[in-house]
Structure 1
Amino acid sequence: MKAINFYFDFLSPFSYFAWHNMQTLAKELNLEVHYKPVALGPLLNHWQIKGPGEITPKREFLLKQCLRYAAKLGLPFTTPKTHPFNSLYALRLSLRGVAGQDQARVIEALWKAGWQTRIDMGEPDELLNALREAGLPADELYEKSFTKEAKVELKANINEAISFGAFGVPSFVVGDELFWGNDALEDIRDYVQGQDPLDREKFASLLAETPRAAAQAL
């Protein structure tokens, strides 16, 4: 069974779509999914990238794109009550070291609560209510989410994602190969099935022989 790392932040609607679509892909390809919550901010800061919400036209365009995509998919979609929000509470609750065998259920409950029923995902009380409604031990999970081990695990996930070159979410890693975005799932399917159309020699050649404009300007 091949393993895939799935790096996500509850801030990202495209991570929500990818989470939904990953269920089908994992079954189809017999993939073991390693859920890796990460905070988007440190990824963007590391590569000095602005977040989508910081560029007004992009924010508006992406919301339209999300509504169109969800409608085509027949998937319930709204936005959390506030956005952006502090996602650290949700991220820590969904860590493997916190949720254990219930990790997939915790992640499902939080995605649905935020992006289907519009709770405030930055408010711990609303997160805990969502977990209780899903039949999960909310208070126990909340207590564990504040341990030193939880904070260390989240930081390790972020550093691991950066080490693979992840610059946003959702990101996926199969072996050492990085994929980014919900629309990369078709590429993941090809890669796992040994049908990757990427010409690696051409890629290396173009990368080496095509100068960057910014570098030329220095």
Structure 2
Amino acid sequence: MTSKLEFWFEYASSYSYPAAYAVGDACRAAGVELVWKPFLLGPIFASQGWNTSPFNLFPAKGRYMIRDLERICGKAGLPFKLGEAYDWPQFSVAAARIGLIGAREGWIESFTKRLYRLEFGDNFDISKEATLRQALDGVTDADRVIAESRRRETKDALRAQVDEAMSAGIFGAPTFRVGTEIFWGGDRLADALDWAVEHAEP
């Protein structure tokens, strides 16, 4: 029997940050194959008529998100703060393209954790090449990966990943998908894993 869980996440997503630190260990403990699926929420929000995050569109929701993440990250032993030196959410296209390469080559977990820690722990700007290089340092060849991330094939692959998310009905991050079942939010990880184990394919 095999079971598989897809982890759909956005590098600009605050709630994806603690989920990225939890999902790998949880899947390994449950014996579930983990598939990392970086994508972009911007096109999905645009399809709903939004030009920014709902946490910006609805200030009360944004204030709640910050306090909620302070609690969640505090419990997980992760630093969390949203810097004021840049607009939020950050521009995450370059990071997502690198994430696609990392998913294919097997180093996405290390890169993703490092990048999130820089973004939400240290308030680095993930749209900057210097930040991406820092997250890649010691993980893989930054020069090679950044050059590959700028190729047409990688750009097309990210567009296809976003199209797949939209076709699957994914509307937020993080989202866990098991087959056609969608579990939205980091707090649904346990439910998603239970479903994956109970509905493993022969």
* TM-score of the superposed pair, with normalisation by structure 2: 0.86
Instruction: Give the aligned partner of residue 185 of structure 2.
Output: 181
Give the C-alpha shift of residue 173 in structure 1.
0.9
Instruction: Give the aligned partner of residue 216 of structure 1.
Output: none
Give the C-alpha shift of residue 135 in structure 1.
4.2
Of the two structures, which has the highest relative contact order with CA contacts closer than 8 Å and spacing of 6 or more? 2
Counterpart amino acid of 2:129?
A: P
* Number of aligned positions between the proteins: 194
Contact 1:98 1:141 in 2 (8 A): no
Which of 48, 64, 68 matches 1:65?
Answer: 68
CA distance in 2, matches of 1:69, 1:101: 27
Give the C-alpha shift of residue 96 in structure 1.
3.3
* TM-score of the superposed pair, with normalisation by structure 1: 0.81
After TM superposition, list the pairs within 5 Å mapping 1:186-201 onto structure 2. 186-194=190-198
Instruction: Give the aligned partner of residue 85 of structure 1.
Output: 90
Residues 1:36 and 1:98: Cα distance change in structure 2 (over 3 Å)? closer
CA distance in 1, matches of 2:14, 2:178: 22
After TM superposition, list the pairs within 5 Å mapping 1:25-36 onto structure 2. 25-36=26-37
Give the C-alpha shift of residue 89 in structure 1.
1.2
4+ residue runs over 4 A deviation: none
Instruction: Give the secondary-structure state (helix, strand or coil) at the position aligned to 1:4.
Output: strand
Instruction: Give the aligned partner of residue 166 of structure 1.
Output: 170
Q: Does 1:156 align with 2:160?
A: yes
Q: Deviations over 1:8-64 (max 9, x none)?
A: 111111111111110221112212111111111112223445622222121111101
After TM superposition, list the pairs within 5 Å mapping 1:1-218 onto structure 2. 1-48=2-49, 51-79=54-82, 82=86, 83-96=88-101, 100-132=105-137, 134-194=138-198
Which structure 1 residue ranges, 5 or more long, are not aligned? Answer: 196-218
Contact 1:6 1:170 in 2 (8 A): yes
Q: Deviations over 1:137-194 (max 9, x none)?
A: 1111110001111111111111111111101111111011111110111211331243
Residues 1:63 and 1:92: Cα distance change in structure 2 (over 3 Å)? same
Counterpart amino acid of 1:123?
A: K
Contact 2:98 2:149 in 1 (8 A): yes
CA distance in 1, matches of 2:5, 2:142: 27
CA distance in 1, matches of 2:139, 2:5: 28
Give the C-alpha shift of residue 98 in structure 1.
7.8
CA distance in 1, matches of 2:157, 2:102: 7
Residues 1:75 and 1:14: Cα distance change in structure 2 (over 3 Å)? same
Give the C-alpha shift of residue 2 in structure 1.
1.3
Residues 1:73 and 1:113: Cα distance change in structure 2 (over 3 Å)? same
Larger radius of gyration: 1
- % identical aligned pairs: 28
